Amino acid sequence: MDSPSGSDSFPPNCWIPVPPRLLPGRSPAEKHLGAVVRREPLARQVQKEQTRALLVDAALRVFAEHGYEEATVEDIAAAAGYSKGAYYFHFTSKEDIFLELLEQWTGEQTERLRAFEKATPAAAALLETLDGFLSYGERESLWPRLLLEFWAQARRHDAVRRELALAYAGWRRLLAQTFRRATGSGLLSPQLDPDAAARLVLATHDGLVVEACIDPEGAQRVSLRRVLGALLAYLASPVAEELPEAARPPVAKGPARKARRSRPSAA
């Protein structure tokens, strides 16, 4: 039998049999599809993932520093150290990578809310949940500025608006569940409206983001734990009875009161 083509290690008419167990087998996908599936070398796949990650990281910096409208594909590619062609290999447009960053942020925030969903004790779980959601840690310098871009572009781009709407709706549900659990454990006032408390936390988050953008040094001096302490102290206090009637949680209406007699008009 002839030797395999391209082999110079052995003289002609000399070949070494390969045991069947060492021959490359067909993958489940190939068996199912009845066709050969092209395999990409692992090193090449890793390199592609690294390139994409570097482009996303560069886009974060460029959008945060220059804003979405002023940023260009060329700026992002250059910041990552790649050509414009390399950028378009991974992303179809500037909006494409912007949405990638938006999905990354919303996904990370959702995971932070879910991280302590079943943790005990309930008091520590509540504090860690809110701390993880409101704190950006090492991300403080860039992410708050990018969030302003997300909110601004939501007015112009339907895809951005839909993603933000879904994310905020999901966060309200997760936060409300956290507050119901805390209320059931006696940590918070039984009069607390979990949905309203969830909206209060989201408003606190957005306010801290704005503060970090307009006064970074002042925001860094603020202790998040003190903010959380004040927020939880407010939520734990039975303040409903002290609030104006319009601001109190809705209660079941009793029997209708008799109408007051009208005051006589002045002569």
Average pLDDT over residues 188-216: 92
For the cut 70, the answer to whether the pLDDT of residue 6 exceeds it is no
CA proximity to 106, closest of 165, 157, 194, 175: 165
pLDDT for 238 equals: 66
pLDDT in tens, 220-256: 888 888 898 888 888 887 654 454 555 454 554 445 4
Using one digit for the tens of pLDDT, what is the confidence trace for 13-66? Answer: 444 344 443 334 444 334 444 544 455 677 888 899 999 999 999 999 999 999
Residue 253: inside a domain, yes or no?
no
How many whole angstroms separate alpha carbon 267 and alpha carbon 246? Answer: 35
**Average pLDDT in the 205-220 region?**
89
How far apart CA 178 and CA 181 sit, in angstroms, is 5
In a domain, 189, yes or no: yes
Q: What pLDDT does residue 43 have?
A: 84
What's the pLDDT at 144?
Answer: 93
Give the dihedral sign, CA 104/107/108/109.
positive
End-to-end CA distance of the chain: 127
The reply to whether 161 and 106 lie within a common domain is: yes
pLDDT at 182: 87
Tell me, yes or no, whether 195 lies in a domain.
Answer: yes
Question: Cα–Cα distance between 175 and 129 in angstroms, integer?
Answer: 9
193 and 73 together in one domain: no
pLDDT at 128: 87
Question: Is 106 domain-assigned?
Answer: yes
Cα radius of gyration rounded to whole Å, the chain: 30
Which of 49, 65, 91 terminates a domain? The answer is 91
Please count the structural domains in the chain: 2
Domain with residue 86: its CATH number is 1.10.10.60
Q: How far apart are CA 110 and CA 39, in angstroms?
A: 34
Q: Examine the pLDDT at 2 and tell me if it is beyond 90.
A: no
With contact defined as beta carbons under 8 Å apart, do 136 and 144 qualify? yes
pLDDT of 264 higher than 60:
no
Q: Do residues 46 and 128 share a domain?
A: no
Separation CA 105–CA 91 (nearest Å)? 18
What pLDDT score was predicted for residue 33?
A: 44
pLDDT of residue 71: 97
In this model, does residue 265 exceed pLDDT 80?
no
What confidence score (pLDDT) does residue 51 get?
A: 95
Count Cβ atoms below 10 Å from residue 48 Cβ, excluding itself: 13
**Better pLDDT: 104 or 219:** 104
Indicate whether 181 and 51 sit together in one domain: no
Q: Which pLDDT belongs to residue 13?
A: 44
The last residue of a domain, from among 51, 73, 91 = 91
Whole-number pLDDT of residue 56: 97
Indicate whether 231 belongs to any domain.
yes
Is pLDDT above 90 for 147? yes
Residue 84 maps to a domain: yes
Structure tokens at 267: 């002569």
Q: Tell me, yes or no, whether 2 lies in a domain.
A: no
162 and 234 share a domain?
A: yes
Q: Give the structural domain span for 195.
A: 98-238
Residue 109 located in a structural domain: yes
Structure tokens at 188: 């918070």
Q: Which residue has the tokens 């990409």?
A: 40
Residues 6+ apart with CB under 8 A from 143: 60, 64, 105, 136
Do both 180 and 233 map to the same domain?
A: yes
Do residues 131 and 217 both lie within one domain? yes
Q: What is the CATH number of the domain that holds 137?
A: 1.10.357.10
> pLDDT for 50-106, tens place per residue?
999 999 999 999 999 999 999 999 999 999 999 999 999 999 999 999 999 999 999
3-state secondary structure at position 220? helix
Are 119 and 137 in a shared domain?
A: yes
pLDDT tens figures, 93-144: 999 999 999 999 999 999 999 988 777 777 788 888 899 899 887 667 899 9
pLDDT at residue 39, rounded to an integer: 54
Within 10 angstroms of residue 139's Cβ, the number of other Cβ atoms is: 13
Same domain assignment for residues 123 and 225: yes
If asked whether residues 63 and 171 sit together in one domain, one would say no
Are 58 and 186 in a shared domain? no
Both 198 and 116 in a single domain?
yes
